[in-house]
Amino acid sequence: MDRRVIIFDHPLIQHKLSILRDKQTGTKGFRELVSEIAMLMMYEATRNLPLEDIDVETPIATAHCKCISGKRLAFVPVLRAGLGMVEGALTMVPAAKIGHIGLYRNEQTLEPVEYYCKLPHDIGNRDVFVLDPMLATGGSAIAAIDLIKKRKPRSIKFLCIICAPEGLEALKKAHPDVDIFCAGMDSHLNENGYIVPGLGDAGDRIFGTK
């Protein structure tokens, strides 16, 4: 596995992912788990943020400390399912700006169809974290990142909970400069473009629409 792709092996993430996959897990539990996994993933995905030196006056003396340099992050969930990851990501970085990209897959062609795009006005000065629980064919992730790149952000990272090998390869090929973080990689896609074994339709499970 190359260094740009991180598949998490942390026990907390793996444990939560197992419960998330279970078809007996209901909407409330599913939502909470997506949020918790996103929080843990964001903790790791921000590991290399640049730091700068600051001096802080404690009640006793001056402490030579570090703070995150620039602090200019943006989270961009891909609607709908990516919305489920926002709260957890914000737990780690409460001041991040949020953009939204609306895409759905045409059920026959599996091609992404864009219906919404609203990004922070200053996204060109920001490090962007794209959030979407599922990377299946890769079409939605590639299209979302195409849209974001038009605004020339400082960097882009993609965070998903489950990926299929097909989608991972497609995304790496289309956007070789984007770091990819996944909680788990599955076996393959079925004939309907669903990840096997996966967790079903993430949007429907988060919003209780099926």
Residues that bind ligand PRP (CB under 6 A): 78-81, 103-105, 110, 112, 132-141, 167, 193, 201-203
Q: Please give the C-alpha separations between residue 179 and each of 28, 142, 156, in angstroms, as whole numbers.
A: 30, 13, 7
Least separation in angstroms between residue 193's CB and ligand PRP is 5
Q: Please give the C-alpha separations between residue 128 and each of 50, 99, 125, in angstroms, as whole numbers.
A: 14, 9, 9
171, exposed or middle or buried, with CB in 10 Å at 0-12, 13-18, 19+?
buried
Candidates 10-18, 116-124, 149-157, 191-199: pick the segment binding ligand URA (CB under 6 A).
Answer: 191-199
For residue 21, what are the contacts with CB-CB under 8 A and spacing of at least 6? 197, 198, 199
Rounded to whole angstroms, the Cα distance separating 156 from 135 reads 16
Q: Is 195 in the site for ligand URA (CB under 6 A)?
A: yes
* Identified catalytic residue from 109, 122, 146, 209: 109
Q: Is 122 a catalytic residue?
A: no
Neighbouring C-beta atoms of residue 209, cutoff 10 Å: 10
Cβ nearer to ligand URA, comparing 134 with 144: 134
Q: Is 105 a catalytic residue?
A: yes
Least separation in angstroms between residue 38's CB and ligand URA is 15
Name the one residue in this structure whose structure tokens are 């990926």.
163
Q: Is 204 a catalytic residue?
A: yes
Q: Is 166 in the site for ligand URA (CB under 6 A)?
A: no
CB of 117 closer than 8 Å to CB of 95: no
Interaction mask 52-91, ligand URA, x per CB under 6 A: -----------------------------x----------
Q: Is 109 a catalytic residue?
A: yes
Q: Is 168 in the site for ligand URA (CB under 6 A)?
A: no
Q: Is 134 in the site for ligand URA (CB under 6 A)?
A: yes
Helix ranges (H only) for the chain are 11-21, 27-45, 86-92, 139-149, 165-174, 202-207
Residues taking part in catalysis:
105, 109, 201, 204
Task: Point out which residues bind ligand URA (CB under 6 A).
Answer: 81, 134, 136, 194-195, 198, 201-203
